[in-house]
Amino acid sequence: MTKDFYRQLDPVEERIVPPENAIVVSSEAREANVNEKEAKQGVLSQRVMRFIGENELVDGISVRDPDYLKRFFNERRKQFSTKWDKVTRKVDNVVGRYYAREQNFTSTIASLHTDPNERLIPGFSSILVAFMTGSVLTRRKTWLLRATMPIILGSCCFAYAMPTTFRNTMYLIHDLEMNTFPRFVERQDHVWKEIKRFSTASVQCYYDARKWLNKDVEKTGDSIKDWTGINVK
């Protein structure tokens, strides 16, 4: 007859709870152990005792915990804890670098668009149209024109449609180039300064020449008027 594990339990009959009038003699935790003399007499060998561990009572429950098992699980737990700490530190470092880069990127993008009067969607739409126009116009030209003309037209449209954002973007690109290629940027800045100096000098020469020409033309007109009496101004 099989035992019914789903039956209604009677704690007294199942010997879980002692009877009401019974006398229960408490025992020490060591009494279940087998001493060396009993082990030599053949009750249990010392090897088996070392394998199963000493008996102890924990909250009324007989427990055996061999020392080698405690040392083994203690070492495994320490190793796992050490590796877990290393993994969590690495994950924290990666996540921290990611959040730092994300914050830097978002703050950089936010610092580019500082003029609220510049509308982004119409501006970028115009830049895209200018870029595609340059690509269409140079589709049968040389590779140099196909590569540069869309960028030139798009940049010109960018500078015209959103001048403040374009200026901030140029400053950002200059800073990135300075951090990556410092020597190249120094030469580039030197060339740009020379171009600006030459441009300023050319404009000044133009105004000086124009002023000199106006004076000469005025003097010539006055001379003709004095000699002939005809006003040619």
In the numeric block, the tokens 């171009």 are attached to: 195
The confidence score (pLDDT) of residue 124 equals 87
* Element containing residue 127 per DSSP (H, E): helix 120-137
Please determine, for residue 81, whether its predicted confidence score (pLDDT) is greater than 90. yes
**Which residue do the tokens 């994300």 mark?**
102
Q: Which residue has the higher pLDDT, 51 or 186?
A: 186
Query: Above 70 in pLDDT, residue 102?
Result: yes
- CB–CB of 49/34 below 8 Å? yes
134, with CB counted inside 10 A (0-12, 13-18, 19+), is buried
Mean pLDDT of 112-136: 86
Distance CA 144, CA 151 (A): 11
Cα–Cα distance, 88 to 145 (Å, whole number): 52
- The residue among 30, 32, 9, 12 whose CA lies nearest residue 21 is 12
Smallest CA-to-CA distance from 145 within 43, 153, 195 is with 153
Please compute the mean of the pLDDT values over residues 187-215 and round it to a whole number: 78
Q: What is the mean pLDDT of the chain?
A: 76
Give the model's pLDDT for residue 31: 46
